[in-house]
Amino acid sequence: MIRLFSATDKVFTSNGDLVLKPIKANVHKADNKDYYLNLETDLEYIDNIVEGNIVVVNTPTGDQAFRIGNVQKTKNKISSKCYHVFYDSKNYLVANADVVNLDCGDALALINGNTEPQTIFSVSSDIEDTNSLSIIRKSLYGAITDVLSAYGGHLVRDNFSISIKESIGTDNGIVIRYKKNLKDITCKEDWSNVITKILPVGKDGLLLNALNPSADIYITSGTQYDIPYTKTVSFSQDLKREDYNTDTEYTQALIDDLRAKANTYLTANSIPKVNYTLKANLEHLADIGDTVEVIDERLGVDLMASVISFDYDCISEAYTEVVFGNFTQSLSGFIDTVNAQTERTVNATINNTFADSIRAYGVADGWTWRKYTSGIVECWKKKTVDSTSLTWSTLITGLNDATFSDTFPFSIADAVINANIDECDDTGWIANIENDTTTCSITVVRESNTGDMVVNICVNGRETS
């Protein structure tokens, strides 16, 4: 049941002023970001769908209130983007609030108790870590954003109750299987935080060579790409000098702690973060943070991920879209701030179209490679050769036996059925070679400074071993 309440109502246990029968009522909810209702009605409700009134709809987490705003009227319908009443927090001002060594719950209580006017919200948190921050002339909404940035956690919005929890979600054994509830999947990769070589910096600028100047200040990941991803990262350290007998013991403990933290960071960030968008109704999904398993044996997909956003149809009481993966965007301002991102979009439908996504990738014997769930394999190789030994026939032979005079990480079968040179001059050429399962693109360019011929080879084919 979808109910309409007046702008000043705070309790939503009754049927309200009116029971609505909208054309559309879709809720979008994202972890620490947007939470709103897209509402459409016919003109019967033209006097009711007005700025400030509240619409209460059934959601996966119970009845939730959304404030009507941005009303648009046409000759056929009325539409509004109604934000959750949590966003009323933008209307309260915190002139000054100093949080000093408080846990997250006490910080929220201090801020919520120093607004003008006094808020109607209740606040809580289960995060016990202490922190300090200063809030000066910010809205309650902005202050809560600062608390999230300082303490971390997940924002839980339940009508006029605001909570920040250390973890959210449950594992309800949700399994998505092909031909049952898998309709469409989109894969998005975020490479903005990838790092394969790190220069860690610890307390007071400590480096890994603090006790041994000849020691390496870098740590290198076993995962490497053609493009280097080298960064410096600073880590906080809470070790105390009084817990150690000598300065040397203390410094060594700091070095060991810094190395451990850097290795953990490197392991977590040596591969890109991946999110999947799935268009399916998941009957047992409860909320943001829930665990979802996707299985498609036909494509070799078996992945576990946490739900980070969903779209829910309040009329049919079904999910229309779920986003799950191993990363979310920045909390600050609840605005997406993706600095470097690539996107690969594929469709999986029940009429034999297959979904594809990167299943594994890395470097093997000098080749950079990707394996897709469909069995497609892509490999790249860059090598410099003497121009006199660069011959067309050698490259064709190389495709047949999948060596190119180097160890190829995957075998590519079948004989060459087509080979052509698209361009040829004294500075280089481009070739495309095809067989039954493989397309090979080869670019050869003479470098102006050395005169060497640089070969770039990309093989795209189906995995045969």
* Distinct helix (H) and strand (E) counts, the chain: 4, 30
Domain regions of the chain by residue span: 2-88, 92-165, 174-191+273-345, 197-269, 359-462
User: Is the bond into 60 cis (omega within 30 degrees of 0)?
Assistant: no
Distance CA 118, CA 136 (A): 17
**What is the DSSP code (8-state) at residue 317?**
T
Distance CA 151, CA 358 (A): 34
Q: What is the pLDDT of residue 352?
A: 28
Give the torsion through C-alpha atoms of 455, 461, 464, 465, to 10 deg.
50
Distance CA 29, CA 288 (A): 8
pLDDT averaged over consecutive 10-residue blocks of the chain (465 residues)? Answer: 96 95 96 95 95 96 95 94 97 95 96 96 95 94 94 94 90 61 61 91 94 94 88 92 94 95 89 68 72 60 74 91 60 24 24 40 60 57 51 37 43 46 51 57 60 61 46
What's 433-456 look like in SS3? EEECCEEEEEEEEECCCCCCEEEE
| Structural contact between residues 139 and 122, judged by C-beta atoms closer than 8 angstroms | no
At 27, list the tokens: 């809720």
User: Which CATH code for domain 92-165?
Assistant: 3.55.50
Q: Determine which helix (DSSP H) or strand (DSSP E) holds 301, and give its type and residue range.
A: strand 301-313
Residues in CB range of 80: below 8 A, 6 or more apart: 39, 49, 68, 69, 70, 71, 72
Q: What is the pLDDT of residue 90?
A: 96
Q: pTM of the prediction?
A: 0.57
Q: Is the dihedral of CA 72, 78, 79, 80 positive or negative?
A: positive
At 340, list the tokens: 């470097």
Distance CA 301, CA 213 (A): 48
Q: What is the pLDDT of residue 272?
A: 76
Which amino acid is residue 19, in one-letter code?
V
Q: What is the pLDDT of residue 320?
A: 87
Q: What is the pLDDT of residue 205?
A: 92
**What is the DSSP code (8-state) at residue 257?**
H
CA nearest neighbour of 232 among 189, 255, 266, 272? 266
Say if strands 77-84 and 35-42 run parallel, antiparallel, or are unpaired: antiparallel
CA nearest neighbour of 426 among 408, 450, 409, 451? 451
| Structural contact between residues 246 and 211, judged by C-beta atoms closer than 8 angstroms | no
User: Which CATH code for domain 174-191+273-345?
Assistant: 2.40.30
Distance CA 137, CA 131 (A): 20
Say if strands 18-20 and 428-435 run parallel, antiparallel, or are unpaired: unpaired
